[in-house]
Amino acid sequence: MEWEFKGIRFDIETEALGPFVLASARAPQIGPFVRVKPFSSLGRSEEEALDLLKRQVEFEFRKLPTAS
């Protein structure tokens, strides 16, 4: 699954871990550098894990000033 936020396209993968679901997001590598650190979240369902993951990414980017 792909998700775009503030011009960065994240590849999101989910994986069942017993009664939980792990969601992880990575931004593509550009040249030798990775633009954004990877993110992950754990939820009781795929929907909950994805929601937590997206909120985590949004929170991280709210803390950073946008370039003008």
pLDDT of residue 21: 97
Whether the pLDDT of residue 43 is over 90: the answer is yes
Structure pTM?
0.74
pLDDT of residue 28: 73
Average pLDDT over residues 9-18: 92
Average pLDDT over residues 42-63: 90
Average pLDDT over residues 29-58: 85
Q: How far apart are CA 9 and CA 58, in angstroms?
A: 13
Band of pLDDT at residue 59, cut at 50, 70 and 90: confident
